[in-house]
């Protein structure tokens, strides 16, 4: 099992550009989560999906952020247009219902986004 795979590992972009972060969850997991980590705000839940359906997107900071999960093996988090304050590490995590209660999440290694 390759774990949760995120790409790219690092992204540097100019303000105003579109940024797309990608995540491949563990096969068989039916929950997928997107988190953002910053020094100022810690680890924030942005959105999570169950069976590819967005369940709670109340953590998405504003309309510039959008997330999709077109199938069980792929999800994207898009920022358009990007701003310097979006600079952070973005984590994807996956789990399955029983595992949430027993094993918690499996996190990816994150994407470090820098917007200049």
Contacts of 49 (CB under 8 A, 6+ apart): 31, 32, 33, 55, 67, 69, 75
| Minimum distance from residue 101 beta carbon to another protein (Å) | 5
Q: How far apart are CA 26 and CA 29, in angstroms?
A: 6
Kindly report the number of other CB atoms within 10 A of residue 11's CB atom.
19
User: Which of these ranges, 16-24, 60-68, 74-82, 100-108, lies near another protein under the rule CB under 8 A?
Assistant: 100-108
Q: Which residues, 26 to 85, sit near another protein by CB under 8 A?
A: 33, 42-43, 45, 48, 55-56
Q: Is residue 90 a contact point for another protein (CB under 8 A)?
A: no
Q: How many residues sit in the footprint of another protein (CB under 8 A)? A: 20
| Minimum distance from residue 7 beta carbon to another protein (Å) | 14
């Amino acid at each position: 099992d390759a774990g949760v795979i995120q790409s790219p590992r690092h992204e540097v972009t100019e303000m105003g550009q579109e940024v797309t972060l990608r995540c491949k969850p563990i096969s068989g997991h039916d929950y997928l989560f997107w988190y953002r980590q910053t020094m100022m705000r810690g680890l924030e839940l942005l959105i999570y999906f169950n069976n590819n359906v967005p369940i709670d997107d109340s953590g998405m900071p504003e309309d510039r952020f959008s997330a999709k999960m077109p199938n069980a093996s792929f999800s994207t988090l898009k920022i358009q247009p990007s701003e310097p304050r979006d600079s952070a590490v973005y984590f994807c995590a996956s789990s399955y219902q029983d595992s949430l209660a027993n094993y918690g999440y499996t996190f990816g290694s994150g994407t470090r986004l820098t917007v200049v």
